[in-house]
Amino acid sequence: MITYEAVTKVFGEGPDAVIAIDRVSFTIARGQVVIFLGPSGCGKTTLLRLTNRLDSLSRGNIYINSQNIRDLNPVKLRQSIGYVIQEVGLFPNKTIFDNIAVVPKLLGWNKEKIRKRVDELMHLTRLEPDLYRRRYPAELSGGQQQRVGVARALAADPEILLMDEPFGAIDPINREQIQNEFLNLQAKMKKTIAFVSHDIHEALKMGDKIALFNQGRLIQYDTPEVILTRPKNKFVANFVGADRALKVLGLLHVRDIMNCSPSNIVDAAQTAPEVLKMLEQKNLRYAIVLAQGKPVGYVTSQDLKYEQGLCQEVARPYPLCLEQGTSVHEALSHMLMHDLTTFCVINDQGDLVGTVTYKSIQKSLQDFFADDAEAQ
């Protein structure tokens, strides 16, 4: 969808010339979120701005939908691409409604269409239209302003979005929330997005693919998994961080690695001696106790030894159960916190759907890095 072909950008002339971008070539496929990642000054923002011709190429070509952008009218091009910057740049002299409506107005949409679209976008970005339509940017918080910025970029329903550290100026708590909201949005909209960031965590979270730059050169362009498990060189390895194994865990969800049919389940109504016998027979060290399909706790042989009543009575409760979407990273954190090697995974109704163990986490990581070893 967006193809960069030997793109080069030089600022200045002669001995003082700065090569901001050096023969960068790669392609962003339709519907993908690609993170332009790298340290300050690596050229990621410049590359973004070349894409909508806010800056001009020195050499090379950029194609959007197989059209060379040099052949397109720059103003029209930009009207067909959504653009979000870190400072947001909301026009303080316009209401929220007018801000969002800028590009549709430029494109000549009729009033009714614009009104509907603005309301739709405000709902999508969780800004109550009746409340905020007439307000001015100065009356909104930073997070709200950023949401308006995103809505404004989406107003004309462009296929492509260019985003330059859009969530950088927001405090970490709100940033996580707005990132999640954006991911939800993208799941629905499937836009083609180039997203500049300097934060590896944001890149891993938001990107379908990561383009890592350094000093104007494209160093590696791969999915987050590959970048973490197969960094091309020392720079990449250092940039992603020495804890990259743990970061890989952040990419996995418990539903990906859980055991869906664990064999060590007992019902709360069973008696202690029954369960004890089962444990000995199956050579298990503990069993998970379920009541109506919902976990209530676990029992070990030790707990059951001299008991006669229902196993439920001696069951040790789980401090918590994990939802299916929980990252494995978080699951591991809980295991360490509560000194438990097994956790139950439940669905929305609270029924057990699987278990995660420390061993299963270890195994999945091994698989990752083993794939990697095999591939090499």
At 109, the amino acid letter reads W
Q: Residue 152 interacts with another protein (CB under 8 A)?
A: yes
CB of 140 to another protein, least distance (A): 9
**Using the rule CB under 8 A, which residue among 10, 72, 106, 185 binds another protein?**
106
- Hey, is 364 helix, strand or coil? helix
Residues 122-151: x where in contact with another protein by CB under 8 A, - otherwise, as a string? --------------xxxx---------x--
Are the C-beta atoms of 289 and 264 separated by less than 8 Å? no
CB of 2 to another protein, least distance (A): 16
Q: Residue 102 interacts with another protein (CB under 8 A)?
A: yes
Angle in degrees, CA 56, 62, 66, rounded to 5: 140
* 195 versus 221: smaller Cβ distance to another protein: 195
Distances 219 to 90, 155, 211, 298 between C-alpha atoms, Å: 34, 34, 8, 49
Q: At what angle do helices 328-338 and 244-251 cross, to 10 degrees?
A: 110
**Using the rule CB under 8 A, which residue among 46, 52, 220, 326 binds another protein?**
52
Q: Residue 81 interacts with another protein (CB under 8 A)?
A: yes
**Beta bridge mates, 192:** 160
Q: Residue 89 interacts with another protein (CB under 8 A)?
A: yes
* 59 versus 76: smaller Cβ distance to another protein: 76
Are the C-beta atoms of 194 and 36 separated by less than 8 Å? yes
- Hey, is 10 helix, strand or coil? strand
Q: Residue 80 interacts with another protein (CB under 8 A)?
A: yes
**Using the rule CB under 8 A, which residue among 69, 118, 153, 236 binds another protein?**
153
Q: Residue 263 interacts with another protein (CB under 8 A)?
A: no
**Using the rule CB under 8 A, which residue among 66, 71, 75, 234 binds another protein?**
75
CB of 12 to another protein, least distance (A): 15
Q: Residue 9 interacts with another protein (CB under 8 A)?
A: no
Q: Alpha-carbon distance 317 to 58, whole Å?
A: 65
Write down the H helix ranges in the chain.
Answer: 44-51, 74-79, 96-100, 102-107, 111-124, 129-132, 142-154, 172-189, 200-206, 224-229, 234-240, 244-251, 254-257, 272-282, 301-304, 311-314, 328-338, 358-375
Q: Residue 14 interacts with another protein (CB under 8 A)?
A: no
Binding site for another protein (CB under 8 A): 49, 52, 54, 75-81, 83, 85, 87-95, 102-103, 106, 136-139, 149, 152-153, 162
